[in-house]
Amino acid sequence: MTYISFPTDRKFDFAAIGRLCIDLNANEINRPMEQTMTFTKYVGGSPANIAIGMSRLGLKTAFIGKIADDQMGRFIEGYLQDKGIDTENVITDKTGAVTGLAFTEIKSPTECSILMYRDNVADLKLSPLEVNEELIAASKMLLISGTALAASPSREAVFLAVDYARKHGTVVAFDIDYRPYTWKSAEETATYYNLAAEKSDIIIGTREEFDSMERFENNPKRIDRYTADKWLNHSASIVIIKHGKEGSIAYTKDGSEHRAKSYPAKVIKTFGAGDSYAAGFLYGVFSGWTIEKSMEYGSAAACIVISSHSCSDAMPTVAQVEGYIERCERGEITAG
C-alpha cells in the first residue's frame, strides 16, 4: 500500500531546508578528544547529510539554507555543488555569523559524543524572505529539520517553507533532529516542534525526540501508539519512531504498524546513522516500495555510514546499498 503520493513533473525530487555545518572528525580515535591531535573536515548537519544521501541515491536534490561568508561556508557550498545539489537557494550571510562546528569524539564504537559550536551560526540566520517559493513549488518533497526551528529568523523561514509546500502540494517530511543547544527551554522546543509536526506528512524521530515534543502531553509511559495517533490525526501519513538497537516502528494513516529487519555492521561510530537511515527510507518512499522494504533500505544505508569515518562523505549510492544488502544476505558481514 502507498501512503504518500507525489506531484509529478517537478524539477526537483527533494529539497531540504536547515542546518549546514562542518564536522571535524577525530583522526586518532578510540580515545578521549583531549588526546586527539588532528581532525578532518567534512560537511555536516542532519539535513545536509540527508540531502547529500538523496543526491548520491540519484534523486534531483536542492538545498535551502544559509552559510557563513568565510572559508568554511565556501567549502560547504562547493561540496554540495560537487555532489550535484542545487545551491541557488543557499544564501551567504553578511552579518559576520560563523559556520556551526561539530567536533566528534570517538572513545569507542559505542561511546561517541559531539562538542558543538552553535553560537552566532549562519544557518540560523536564514530569514523568511530568503526562502524561494518557486523552488519549493518545483520540488516533490520538502524535508525540514528540527534544529532549524531553534531560533529566529530560521524558525519563521521553516514555517513559511512548510506553508509554501502545503500550498503547492509538496510532501513535507520532518526529521525531528532535536539538539538541546540553542533552545531556551523545553517548553519552547515542544511548542514549535508541535506546530511543525501538525503540518507534516512524514515524521521521523527517536523515542527521546518524540518525548521532547510531549512536554504538555499526558503520555507518561511514553506509548508509541499514543504519540503516533496524535500526528496521524493531524496531517501525517507516516510516523517513524526509532528505538535504537531495538529497531524502528512505522505507524501509518490506516492504523497499521510496520517493522523491518536490520543488518549487521562493523561499527566505527554511531554518528550519521539517523541521517543515512532517513535518506534510505525516503528513497524507498519515492520508489513506491512498501514501508518495510523502505525501512530495510534505510537500515542498510545506515550500516554503511556507521562503518565509515565520516557521515556526509560516506553516504552510499544505490549500488553500494544493494551491494551491502547482498553481502549481508550471503553472510559476509557480521556485527563487530
Binding residues for a second copy (CB under 8 A) = 24, 27, 32-34, 36-41, 70-72, 74-75, 78, 98, 101, 103, 105, 115, 117, 119-120, 127-129, 152-153, 155-156, 159-160, 163, 184-185, 187-188, 190-192, 194-195, 215-216
- What one-character-per-residue DSSP string does 91-143 give? EEP-S--B--EEEEEEEETTEEEEEEE-TTBGGGG--GGGS-HHHHHTEEEEE
The C-alpha cell at 38 is 588532528
d(CA 324, CA 61): 24
Q: Which is nearer to a second copy, 107 or 207 (CB)?
A: 107
Q: Which is nearer to a second copy, 213 or 260 (CB)?
A: 213
Closest CB 131 distance from a second copy, rounded Å:
9
Q: Which is nearer to a second copy, 24 or 203 (CB)?
A: 24
Closest CB 123 distance from a second copy, rounded Å:
14
d(CA 90, CA 99): 13
Closest CB 197 distance from a second copy, rounded Å:
12
Closest CB 229 distance from a second copy, rounded Å:
14
Taking alpha carbons only, the member of 151, 168, 149, 169 closest to residue 159 is 149
Q: Which is nearer to a second copy, 215 or 253 (CB)?
A: 215
Q: Which is nearer to a second copy, 166 or 207 (CB)?
A: 166
Q: Which is nearer to a second copy, 49 or 248 (CB)?
A: 49
d(CA 185, CA 180): 9
Q: Residue 119: exposed, middle, or buried by beta-carbon count in 10 A (0-12, 13-18, 19+)? A: exposed
Closest CB 298 distance from a second copy, rounded Å:
29
Taking alpha carbons only, the member of 231, 301, 220 closest to residue 260 is 301
Closest CB 133 distance from a second copy, rounded Å:
8
Pairing state of beta strands 248-252 and 238-242? Answer: antiparallel
